[in-house]
Chains A and B, each alone.
Chain A
Amino acid sequence: MTTPALEVAAVSRRFGGLLAVDGVTFSIAQGGLSALIGPNGAGKTTLFNAITNLFPPTSGEVRFMGRSLTGLDARRIAGLGLIRTFQTARVFPGMTVLENALAGAHMHVGATALAQMFRLPGARAEERALRDKAGALLDLIGLSAFRDAAATDLPMGAQKNLEVVRALMANPRMLLLDEPAAGLNDSETADLAALLTAIRDIGVTIMVVEHNMSLVMGIADQVIVLDAGKLVAIGAPADIQADRRVIEAYVGLED
């Protein structure tokens, strides 16, 4: 049996008196596409923050590819190949769309700062290759017409797409996407779904927080349901849809 991509073991995160994530345990197989769902305030973003040590777990442990993440900072976690996006898009203001995408490749730039400054041939070739790759990805997600626009001039949905491209430029082994479809219309959401399955098919493990049930049920091979910080259910989409506890958690919130 291969090691799971991500193992979350009894993870809790407390904010003062509030237990935002409460003893959550699950694991995600390599190459899987898992969806994390739950009503507003369920603790989904907090769980992402705990996994990436932005707000480290108050107890419990997270392992990525068999390696404990305890005590690692955001940069080291990214270095292991675990890349996240944020619920409110955090594109870099003051940079163009293309530059934002390129910024994602930071870990894989081999040329030193000095080589870049002196425009050494190796550095220039590397820069060209990165630009080509970023251009192709922007094209894939329908942003290539805006590559030289200011990233913050894009509408929210497009900024979230850009964040996914930026994350992909980092050559991740696993992606944590926090509501990537927020702000997208139906056809854009369908494009995103196609992109996510394609990313999965090239071997990148994905965990995605999503409110859009049809998107979740269409692409995920595993669904994790969180409510009030607790894991309520975990299983295949079809089973989850039939689960009474899940329906209860969502009563009045989702159709």
Chain B
Amino acid sequence: MTGFFQIVIGGLLQGGVFAAVALGFSLVYRVTGVVNLSQGAFCVLGAMAMYYFQVAFGWPTPIAAAASVVSVVAFGLIVGATTFVPAVAKLPVSSTLVLTAGLLTFFEGVALIVWGNQPYALPPFSGEAPVSFGALRVPSQGLWLAGGIAAMILALWFLVYRTALGRALQACAENAMAARLMGIDTPRMMLLSFGLAAAIGASSGLLVAPITSLQFDSGGFFTTSGFIAVAIGGMGSFAGSIVGGLLLGVAEQLAAYYVSSLFANTLALLLLLAMLLWRPNGMFSSGPVRRVDVRSDAVVHRALIRLPDGRLVALGLGLLVVLGVLPVLPLPNGVLSSLTISMILFIAVLGLDVLMGWAGQVSLGQAGFMAIGGYTAAILATNYDWSPLAGVAAGMALSIACALALSLVTGQLRGHYLALATLTFGLLVDSLTVGLINVTGGPSGLVGIPSFSLGSFDFDTSARMYWLALGVAAVAVFILEGGMRSQFGRALQAVRTDQLAAAALGVNVGRVKLAALCISSALASLSGSLYAFNFHFLSPEMVATPRSFEMIAMLVLGGEGTLVGGLFGALVLTMLPTLVQGLALYKTAAEGALLVATFLYLPEGLFGRFAMLLSRVGRRAAPVKGAPAP
């Protein structure tokens, strides 16, 4: 029995941190209506700052802690003021959500640059000796953690419910427009919520760092755990965040002890998917019921890019020829294999474009389908002597089956709940690829994957693999372009911009979304299979959730809704570190920063901008803007 309580106490401590992160989520969500996925990164930044002030500079603990929180909040405020707050004002909610995924990547990249990639553990505040309560033993740091988080919750409660500032924050949460009319500076309140969330994150990070060692990308872990907690508890509900966090912590510890530590996360994610299915608003739902006959999202003003047929064909063929001759040119070392990787990733990004760019369904789980395709094809070809082609087909079939299952959950969901369900799906696949050691080889990966082959023809050189990927991508683009220029593409766009008006014209909104999801998952799966055959090796982190974020960055950078655009995003993000060796360390930060900057300053993307120039040149006398003469 003592053992059980010992586990519950461990779970409550762990859950306390989740609760703190969840509180940060809820706070920002209430004021801005956006789920800020970068929340977890503040924990790592806080711990990192603490490491410098306390260990490297030797400052006393309280001063170091205060200095850490202050510096993280200052950094958070600068980033928030230049990116997050402007984004909330001018981007639709789903784009802002993706932007915060970019911020998470950016913060992780910053931590990587400053901290390197080793895990760090901080010294406990008051020695290593645990405190005993009868037979129970609690690490002394656990008391600091519990006390610190309790104090934070109280302070937050006091601020929100007992001060004028809190009332202003609440007014923004209830009705931003009314708050504005009352003279409340809503952007300042948004920034304030962001800063407070940074403070909560930094404090809980430096409190927990002595118990769990952290590394630069632990932010993703805190974000996902905090997010699971808040989704269980109810987005925007403070009580829900705390209960959800504690519940999750205890459930994970119990699962780790009584089932298997490899599946602790899996169980939590399944719990969450069930929760999303059963009560999408969580246990403590909060949030206004909106009029559904008005558009819930800001109108998506995206560039209207329509190339005349002739130009389109010329552009496509030109591109194909240029890309096709690349392997016969004398390229520097490593360039061809990077090109191949870009091309393979582009296939998955293409699917993402159909789903996100055309149908407007944000997916944060695209890498999950890559993993399904990659592992299925690789395992069948390696262990069961299937032909690679049959393996690829099996992977695609399984991916589509998973997409259909996922749609049972996501079918009911919209906006950020949809995005979060796909994130959950991706994380679930992550945890399975790590956990199912007997099938996937676990964390150390799957080795000895054969080359792709068709009949007796082996794609065993870089050039052959590149041409294969190029061919597949070209065919996929050609087919999709045909669909996008017909009723199917119009239905996707109608669903993206106005589901209500689409349904009123007889569009089966659910089926259109499902079709987009199936196309997207099939292409991701195909890409994942080619990826595995290309490397002759596949490990979980090659197709894990950060890859999903990377592919979103590629899509946005290249240009959503352009099909071909993703190729340029994939090329930029894959080739830059290859061409400029010294950049590898900065890749993560640059990826995040590029995603954020593109969203804010070049919403049509690199290729989108290029195509706009081209289509403008193509328009001669035909009036583009303006009204019919009165």
Contact of B503 with A74 in the complex, beta carbons under 8 Å: yes
Interface 0/1 of A93-116, CB less than 8 Å to B? 111100100111111010101001
Nearest 3 pairs of A and B residues by beta carbon = A78-B506, A116-B486, A107-B506
Contacts beyond the supplied A94-B496, A149-B625: 11 A-B pairs with Cβ under 8 Å: A54-B293, A74-B500, A75-B509, A94-B493, A102-B487, A102-B490, A103-B490, A104-B505, A116-B486, A119-B482, A158-B628
Contact of A116 with B500 in the complex, beta carbons under 8 Å: no
Q: Report which of B480, B497, B506 forms a contact with A106, defined as CB distance below 8 A.
A: B506
Q: How far is the CB of A103 from chain B (nearest CB, A)?
A: 5
Seen from chain B, the residues whose Cβ lies within 8 Å of a Cβ on chain A are 292-293, 295, 299-302, 304, 306, 479-480, 482-483, 486-488, 490-491, 493-494, 496-498, 500-509, 515, 561, 619, 622-628, 630
Determine the residue in chain A with the shortest Cβ distance to B495.
A92
CA distance A196 to B630 in the complex (A): 20
Known: A79-B506, A92-B501, A170-B505. A150 touches B483 (CB 8 A): no
Contact of B482 with A117 in the complex, beta carbons under 8 Å: yes
CA distance A200 to B486 in the complex (A): 30
Contact of B626 with A92 in the complex, beta carbons under 8 Å: no
CA distance A166 to B505 in the complex (A): 9
For residue B304, which residues in chain A have a CB less than 8 angstroms away from its CB? 94-96, 150
For residue A149, which residues in chain B have a CB less than 8 angstroms away from its CB? 623-626
Residue from A75, A102, A111, A152 whose CB has the most chain B CB atoms within 10 Å = A75
For residue B626, which residues in chain A have a CB less than 8 angstroms away from its CB? 146, 149, 153
Known: A94-B304, A102-B487, A118-B482. A73 touches B503 (CB 8 A): yes
Q: How far is the CB of A248 from chain B (nearest CB, A)?
A: 30
For residue B482, which residues in chain A have a CB less than 8 angstroms away from its CB? 116-119
Interface 0/1 of A211-232, CB less than 8 Å to B? 0000000000000000000000
For residue B301, which residues in chain A have a CB less than 8 angstroms away from its CB? 93-94, 152
CA distance A49 to B500 in the complex (A): 12
Contact of A153 with B500 in the complex, beta carbons under 8 Å: no
Tell me if A205 is interfacial: C-beta within 8 Å of chain B. no
Contact of A146 with B628 in the complex, beta carbons under 8 Å: yes
Known: A106-B490, A118-B479. A75 touches B293 (CB 8 A): no
List 10 A-B residue pairs with CB atoms under 8 Å apart, sorted by A's residue number.
A86-B293, A92-B502, A95-B490, A99-B490, A103-B507, A106-B491, A116-B482, A117-B480, A149-B626, A155-B627
Q: For chain A residues 15-61, which have a beta carbon within 8 Å of chain B?
A: 49, 52, 54-55
Contact of A170 with B496 in the complex, beta carbons under 8 Å: no
Seen from chain A, the residues whose Cβ lies within 8 Å of a Cβ on chain B are 49, 52, 54-55, 73-75, 78-79, 83-84, 86, 90, 92-96, 99, 102-107, 109, 111, 113, 116-119, 123, 127, 130, 142-143, 145-146, 148-150, 152-155, 158, 166-167, 170, 185, 188
Contact of B623 with A83 in the complex, beta carbons under 8 Å: no
Contact of B491 with A103 in the complex, beta carbons under 8 Å: yes
CA distance A93 to B495 in the complex (A): 11
CA distance A106 to B508 in the complex (A): 9
Contact of B504 with A74 in the complex, beta carbons under 8 Å: yes
For residue B292, which residues in chain A have a CB less than 8 angstroms away from its CB? 54
Contact of A86 with B501 in the complex, beta carbons under 8 Å: yes
Determine the residue in chain B with the shortest Cβ distance to A144.
B628
For residue B622, which residues in chain A have a CB less than 8 angstroms away from its CB? 145, 148
Contact of B300 with A94 in the complex, beta carbons under 8 Å: yes
Determine the residue in chain A with the shortest Cβ distance to B302.
A94
CA distance A113 to B515 in the complex (A): 9
Determine the residue in chain B with the shortest Cβ distance to A45.
B293
For residue B488, which residues in chain A have a CB less than 8 angstroms away from its CB? 113, 116-117
For residue A185, which residues in chain B have a CB less than 8 angstroms away from its CB? 630
CA distance A148 to B506 in the complex (A): 24
Contact of A75 with B486 in the complex, beta carbons under 8 Å: no
Q: How far is the CB of A15 from chain B (nearest CB, A)?
A: 9
Contact of B503 with A113 in the complex, beta carbons under 8 Å: no
Contact of A96 with B306 in the complex, beta carbons under 8 Å: yes
For residue B503, which residues in chain A have a CB less than 8 angstroms away from its CB? 73-75, 78
For residue A79, which residues in chain B have a CB less than 8 angstroms away from its CB? 506
Residue from B480, B487, B622, B630 whose CB has the most chain A CB atoms within 10 Å = B487
CA distance A185 to B295 in the complex (A): 27
For residue B306, which residues in chain A have a CB less than 8 angstroms away from its CB? 96, 148
For residue A103, which residues in chain B have a CB less than 8 angstroms away from its CB? 487, 490-491, 493-494, 502, 505, 507
